[in-house]
A and B are shown apart, each in its own frame.
Chain A
Amino acid sequence: MALSAKQLKHLSRLARLKLTDKDTAIFQKQLSEILGYVDQLQKLDTDKVEPTSQVTGLVNIMRKDSIDQSLPRKEALKNAPEQLEGFFKVKSVFD
C-alpha cells in the first residue's frame, strides 16, 4: 500500500510533526514499504473474530472517590518551558 506525499503531509499536520523535504521523501518510501508488509493481514478471514483491546480480561477496575495529595505547584511547573505567575505560558491560541 503506497503512501502518497499528500497523505504524508496530512499525517504530519495531524500529528503536529514537521517533516523536511528530505525526510518526506525517505519516510514516504519507508512507510510505504512497512504498510505493504502489514497489508498481509488482509489475507486472514477475521469476520467472526472479536478484537482484543486488553489481554487481561479485567473489568470494572475503579477507585474510591477520595482526595489524595496533589503536587506542590513548584514541582508541577518545574519542567515548564515557560511559566508566568503560576500558569503555564504558551503562545496565544488565537492566530
Chain B
Amino acid sequence: MNFEPVIGLEIHVQLKTKSKMFCGCNNNSEEAEPNTNVCPVCLGMPGVLPMINKEAVRFSLMVGIALGGKINCNSHFDRKNYFYPDLPKGYQISQYKCPLISGGVVEITCPLEKEKQLGKTTTYQKQIKIKRIHLEEDAGKLIHPEGADYSLVDLNRAGTPLLEIVTEPVIRSPQEASIFLKELRSIMRYLNVSNADMEKGHLRCDANVSLREEGTEILGTKTEVKNMNSFRAVEKALAYEIKRQEELLEKGKKIVQETRGWDETSEKTISQRSKEEENDYRYFPEPDLPPLEIDQRWIKEIKAKLPETSLQRRERFETEYKLNQELLKALIADKALGDYFEEVISELKEWIKDIEIKEDSARDGFVSGEKSKALAKMISQAASLIVSELIRLLNEAKVNIANCKISPENFAELITIIYQGEISQGAAKEVLGEMFKHGSDPSHIIDERGLAQINDPRSLRKIVNEVIEENTGPVSDYKSGKMQALGFLVGKVMQKSKGKANPEIVNELLRELLS
C-alpha cells in the first residue's frame, strides 16, 4: 500500500503592534520582568472590558490582502471558553464564526527529489491554499520548574495580538511544510507585521497529519502534532509522525485521533491524550465588542500602501542594481539585510553627490558623466562585500544584522575607500573585520594600522626600480617573453612594500619600465 501524507497547518503569528490586542499594555515583553506589562484588562480582573487595537486589525487585513484572501467585511469576535492558568478570563477572545479573512494562497518553490528532476528543472512550484485567517489574543506563559509540583504564570504575553492562519490539508511532505513556514515568515517580515521568529515564539505551528491511500480521496484519521519550536523540528516531527502512522497502518492497526507533542530530546511524538478530554469551547459572540464592518475604502487604502513583497524587491534589485542571482538570493532572503544594503546605497548616493570632480585622481576618476558608472560599481562592490564577508561575520558571531556594529554610514565609507583604491582588497577584509568587532571608523583603522595602499606612482617607481635592479634574472625572463615573470616581480614589489603597493599600478609601472 502506498500512502501519501495529508498535512494541514495551523499557524499562530504574533503581531508586533506597539500595544496589546485589547488593552494599552506594552506588547513587547522580550526584555521585561515577569508580570510587568500587565493591567487590569489583560489580567482578567473583575469589571474590565476589552478595546480592539485598530492597528492589529490593519495588520491582519494587510496579510489577508497580501495573500489574496477574501476580506469578510462583516466580522466579529467570539468567546472561546476553557480553563487554563495562562488564560486570565477563562475564555479567549477569538473569532469562530466570522473570521476576518477567508481563503488566500502562498506560493512556494520546493526542490525536486533527485529521481524526479528533469534536465534543468530541479524545483517545482506549489500553491498552498489558505482556509482562513483570524485575529485573537494570546495567552500568558507557563513555566514548569524541573521536578517541582508547581507551575509559574507570567501574563506579560496575555493579550498579545495573534493572527491564526489555517491552511487547507494540501501539504504533502515535511519539506513542503518547512518551506511554507519559511515563506510565511518572509511575508510577515516584508509586510513588517511580525518578526515571525519561531525560536522566539513569534510564529508557532501545529499540524494535522493523516495518511491516505494514494489515488483515493478518503482521508485517514488525523492526529494533531504540537510543540514544534523550529523549522527543523517541524520537519523532524512530521517525518516521525508520518512514519509512525505508516507503520501502524501497515500492521493493520487503527490510528487514534489524538493530540501528540513533539519531544525534542527523544525525537518522538508523544500522546497527550489527557489534555484533549472534553473541550467543548461553547463559542458565542463577544458581547463586549461591537462587530466590525470593514469598508472598501479602508481595504483600498491598505492595498495601495502595502509594502514591497519579496518578489517585488527581487525584481527591483535586479533592475535597479543589476545584481546577479546569487547576490539577489542572499539579499532577498533576509529582509533586514536587504534594508541594510539599501541604507548603504543611500549613503553612497549622498557621498557621490558631494564629491567634487577631481582632476587627477588615481583611478578612473570622477569626471563628469562618470558619477552613475561609479555608483553602479560601488553598489556592486557593496553587495559583494555584504554577501561574501558581512554575512559570514554575522553568522560566525551569531549576530543579527539589526545588532551589527557597522553603521551603514561607515560601511559606505569603506566602499568608497575601496573604490578609490586607497586600500587593497585584502586590507579591506581586515578593516571590515575590525569594524565588525568594534564599530569603528574605517579611516581610523586604516591610519592606525597603516593599511593605506601606496598609489602614488613616484614612490612606487622607486621601489619598482629597486626590484628591477635586484632581480635581473626574472627581468630578462620577462623581456624574453615569459609573462609569468611579471607576476613574480609584482610579488617582489608587494613584498618590499609590505603589501601596501597598489598591485595594478605596480603592474603598469613594470610594463612601462621594462618595455
A and B touch in the complex (CB under 8 A): yes
A residues sitting closer than 8 Å to B (CB atoms) are: 10, 13-14, 16, 53-54, 56, 58-71, 73, 76-77, 82, 84-95
Interface residues of B (CB under 8 A from A): 17-19, 23-26, 33-40, 43, 51-57, 76, 83-85, 142-144, 148-155, 274, 278, 280, 282, 285, 287, 289-293
A87 cross-chain contacts in B, Cβ below 8 A: 34-35, 143, 152-154
Q: Give the nearest-CB partner of A57 in chain B.
A: B290
From B294, which residue of chain A is reached at the shortest CB distance?
Answer: A60
Note all chain A residues with C-beta closer than 8 A to B33: 73, 86
CB distance from A61 to the nearest CB of B (A): 5
CB <8 Å contact, A70 and B154: no
Residues on A with C-beta less than 8 A from B144 are 92-94
Query: Beyond the given A70-B37, A77-B35, could you list 7 further A-B residue pairs with CB under 8 A, ordered by the A residue number?
Result: A59-B293, A68-B23, A76-B43, A88-B155, A90-B85, A91-B151, A92-B150
Q: Is the beta-carbon distance between A59 and B290 smaller than 8 angstroms?
A: yes
B148 close to A92 (CB less than 8 A): yes
Known: A53-B287, A63-B54, A93-B144. A71 touches B40 (CB 8 A): yes
| Docked-complex contact B150 and A90, CB < 8 angstroms | yes
Q: How far is the CA of A58 from the CA of B278 in the complex (A)?
A: 35
Residues of B within 8 A of A90 (CB): 85, 150-153
A64 CA to B52 CA, complexed, in Å: 9
- CB proximity of A33 to chain B, nearest CB, Å: 23
**Are A93 and B85 also in contact (CB < 8 A) when A62-B54, A65-B18, A66-B19 are?**
yes
Report whether A66 and B34 are in contact in the complex, using a CB–CB cutoff of 8 Å.
no
Please pick, from B23, B55, B155, B278, the residue contacting A13 in the complex, using a CB distance under 8 A.
B278
Q: How far is the CB of A69 from chain B (nearest CB, A)?
A: 8
Closest A residue to B53 by CB, please name it: A65
- Could you tell me the distance between the alpha carbons of A16 and B39 in the complex, rounded to whole angstroms? 26
Most chain B CB inside 10 Å of its own CB: which residue of A54, A70, A85, A90: A70
A54 touching B290 in the complex, CB below 8 Å, given contacts A16-B83, A88-B152, A91-B151: yes
Assess whether B55 is in contact with A65, with CB atoms less than 8 Å apart.
yes
Please, which residues of chain A bring their CB within 8 A of the CB of B39?
68-71
Q: Given the complex, which residues of A lie within 8 Å of B57, measured CB to CB?
A: 62
CB distance from A35 to the nearest CB of B (A): 17
- Majority-rule SS of B interface residues: loop
Q: Is the CB of B36 within 8 A of A73?
A: yes
- Say whether B287 contacts A54, CB under 8 Å: yes
Residue pair A67, B152 in contact (C-beta under 8 Å): no
Closest to A94 in B: B144
B291 and A65 within 8 A (CB): no
With a CB–CB cut-off of 8 A, which chain B residues contact A66? 18-19, 24
With A65-B55, A70-B39, A86-B34 as known contacts, state yes or no: A92 contacts B149, CB within 8 Å.
yes
CA distance A56 to B289 in the complex (A): 11
Residues of the A chain whose Cβ atoms lie less than 8 Å from the Cβ of B150? 82, 84, 89-92
B38 touches A76 (CB 8 A): yes
Q: Chain B residues with Cβ under 8 A from A73's Cβ?
A: 33-36, 38
Find the B residue at minimum CB distance from A95: B274
Can you list 6 pairs linking A and B with CB atoms under 8 Å apart? A54-B285, A54-B290, A62-B57, A66-B19, A90-B151, A93-B151
Chain B residues in 8 Å Cβ range of A89: 150-153
Contacts of B53 in A (CB 8 A): 62-63, 65
CB pair B19 A54 closer than 8 Å: no
Q: For A77, list chain B residues within 8 Å (CB).
A: 35
Which residues of the partner chain A approach B84 to less than 8 Å between Cβ atoms? 93
Shortest beta-carbon distance from A68 to chain B in Å: 3
Contact check, A67 vs B24: say whether CB atoms are below 8 A apart. yes
B100 to chain A, nearest CB (A): 13
Instruction: Give the chain B neighbours of A82 by CB distance below 8 A.
Output: 150
Query: How far is B152's CA from A88's CA once the two chains are assembled, in angstroms?
Result: 6
Residues of chain A within 8 A of B153, CB atoms compared: 87-90
Bound CA–CA A69/B280 (angstroms): 36
CB distance from B147 to the nearest CB of A (A): 10
Q: Which residue of B lies closest to A11 (CB)?
A: B280
Among the listed B24, B40, B85, B292, which residue makes an inter-chain contact with A59, where contact means beta carbons less than 8 Å apart? B292
Residue in A closest to B274 when the chains form the complex, CB atoms:
A95
CA–CA, A89 and B153, complex, Å: 6
Known: A88-B153, A93-B151. A60 touches B293 (CB 8 A): yes
Q: Which residue of A lies closest to B154 (CB)?
A: A87
The 5 nearest A-B residue pairs measured at CB: A68-B24, A65-B55, A87-B152, A62-B54, A58-B290
Chain A's nearest CB lies how many Å from the CB of B288? 9
Of A13, A63, A87, A93, most B-chain CB atoms within 10 Å:
A87
Q: How far is the CA of A56 from the CA of B98 in the complex (A)?
A: 20
Name the residue of chain A whose CB is nearest to the CB of B28.
Answer: A67
From B35, B52, B149, name the one whose CB has the most chain A CB atoms within 10 angstroms.
B35
| Alpha-carbon gap, A93 to B148, bound state (A) | 11
B45 CB to closest chain A CB (Å) equals 9
Taking the closest CB of chain B, its distance from the CB of A15, in whole angstroms, is 9
